[in-house]
Structure 1
């Protein structure tokens, strides 16, 4: 009986006969979520899949499609409410926008989102002025508190850079602005960037670099990370600027121009698509407030190519002409030729498919809703599993 039981046991575990190298070769084409399920086959499989020597061969993350947008609103008694809205109809929200898993957090400000990670400033009490930076992954409810940088003020602009397809490490950029070295008064700051503090999760430390743009840049709130650079739009002058994760390379990319010179306003928005190309949206006020979508086809040439243009009348109909409805770009879709816009008194969120010209209503966000509207893409990652 004992020998028979051993034979049955061996027949039930034919996978144990696979060599380690062969098993890695078989599993390497699988998506990350499927790979996680195979950890349950046996302790041996789990050990092989989780072994550091196989991280380059096996998938280490799964980045979902765009799920929706995070934004804020005010209740009738002026309380701040955190919200999430899907870009598709129905379904349970993939995360709780109040981030209840963050410890020692009476309130927080959402500073940036990038490929599934959120950068927040965390306050221990409601009336506290002191805060720290926290990175979190709402899909897994993992979080990481960052050490404080050398120069620290709540009036500084902080942005996040993270691309799991390139590296499991992230970078936080805190831009240092003239007059914002203290918490005394925001009016003391003129918004001109004089340097940057960059946090690297690889080193666990901040590094300081003086600005290398060659002019006193004033940056807008929107940013996009890709190709190892954080890209931002500036005013005075109106250009696209970029800085790499080491703070050693600073780029200035001129705005696309028409016969009358560059056109830009607060409707600017840009992001990286799946092809890794940088997109820019702006408004041509001299041509019926036409919305222009540009793409940097050759990243090294700094030459913008007009990808698409559309008039507000074609987006919103005759109602736009009669009521003068204002709109602004929320984001580009990361994998499709699609943009998202918010317009009107009730802050209506719509998508616009550039190839077909289709406008799709998503949700009435309400007059009390407030930007920025941050895109959220759920992320599951083996490399980030050791966070808190």
Structure 2
């Protein structure tokens, strides 16, 4: 098959329309197929586009467990609590002892952090796996408190934002952004403080976090190219601690592609209020 002399783009086009199980078998056909399926980022993009056209994409929730292990949950299952909807995902290598932290995903590409220090890019469908360069965070006791992943369609560039800090108020906050096109990190001068934390919610090429202390939503524009990145701020609805009751509030994106907030009482989760911003 290696002597068929088909152009590379024709091979990629044919393979991109095959189901994942067939692709994994075809990695044993030849070295050329093995490289295209498991190591070529252009093939991953073509496969995702083909799945979009066929409308065969499934929405799954990615989470890590204490094993350490990564699992995915089918969000379209009729019974949300059914264990059959949970799929255990096998990592290409055995991670070091500690936590496997999903930083985020776009277009079927997942970004992981091992022990919050070793960063990797992974395609669970094909098995493609690559270790990213070191972002340059030196203190070993630092931990990630802000992170997020996004994709810029115009430049075909995946972006990863991370911010790290120590355990005291005097520790310096270090932030960096990774570009898949540049295959490297760039230091960020952004005022990420302790009032925001966790994974950013991606919407329209910007990551969003909820600042519960200041009662605001902050956004980081991934498309900014200048050296001084700034956080945009907006006000959420005024239902914080309504009538003295404590609520848990979570930021997300609705099925219509709009920023949303969900809240429920800490003492009782039998009902959830959802606020959706108009596009």
TM over 0.5: yes
- Of 159, 162, 167, the residue aligned with 1:174 is 162
- Of 215, 218, 232, the residue aligned with 1:251 is 232
Corresponding residue SS for 1:96: strand
Corresponding residue SS for 1:113: strand
Aligned-pair CA distance for 1:268: 2.2
- Where in structure 2 are there 5+ consecutive unaligned residues? 1-6, 27-32, 34-40
Aligned-pair CA distance for 1:158: 4.7
Contact 1:169 1:202 in 2 (8 A): yes
Give the alignment of 1:183-198 within 5 angstroms. Answer: 186=167, 188-189=168-169, 194=173, 196-198=175-177
**TM-score between the two structures when normalised by the length of structure 1:** 0.48
- Of 102, 119, 126, the residue aligned with 2:93 is 102
- Of 219, 223, 227, the residue aligned with 2:200 is 223
Residues in 2 aligned to 1:227 and 1:137: alpha-carbon distance in whole angstroms = 22
- Where in structure 1 are there 5+ consecutive unaligned residues? 1-19, 41-45, 47-51, 74-78, 124-129, 181-185, 299-388
Contact 2:63 2:102 in 1 (8 A): no
Larger radius of gyration between Structure 1 and Structure 2: 1
> Is the alpha carbon distance of 1:164 and 1:264 closer, same or farther for their aligned partners in structure 2, counting shifts above 3 Å?
farther
> Is the alpha carbon distance of 1:147 and 1:58 closer, same or farther for their aligned partners in structure 2, counting shifts above 3 Å?
closer
> CA deviation digits over 1:143-196, x for unaligned, max 9?
12111113345412252323486664221111244xx2xxxxx3x2589x9563
**TM-score between the two structures when normalised by the length of structure 2:** 0.63
Question: In the alignment, what sits opposite 1:293?
Answer: 274
Give the alignment of 1:5-20 within 5 angstroms. Answer: none
> CA deviation digits over 1:177-218, x for unaligned, max 9?
4xx2xxxxx3x2589x956311111111211222258xx451
> CA deviation digits over 1:69-113, x for unaligned, max 9?
53425xxxxx6665444442689778533x331266455422323
Highest RCO, 1 vs 2 (Cα 8 Å, sep ≥ 6): 1
Corresponding residue SS for 1:268: strand
Aligned-pair CA distance for 1:282: 2.1
> Is the alpha carbon distance of 1:260 and 1:141 closer, same or farther for their aligned partners in structure 2, counting shifts above 3 Å?
closer
> Is the alpha carbon distance of 1:166 and 1:284 closer, same or farther for their aligned partners in structure 2, counting shifts above 3 Å?
farther
- Of 277, 289, 304, the residue aligned with 2:258 is 277
Contact 2:190 2:230 in 1 (8 A): no
Corresponding residue SS for 1:135: strand
Give the alignment of 1:316-335 within 5 angstroms. Answer: none
> CA deviation digits over 1:247-290, x for unaligned, max 9?
624211112115987999673223234543111112478xx996
Give the alignment of 1:283-362 within 5 angstroms. Answer: 283=264, 291-298=272-279
> Is the alpha carbon distance of 1:66 and 1:260 closer, same or farther for their aligned partners in structure 2, counting shifts above 3 Å?
closer
Give the alignment of 1:17-96 within 5 angstroms. Answer: 33=17, 60=49, 62=51, 64-72=57-65, 83-87=71-75, 88=77, 96=88
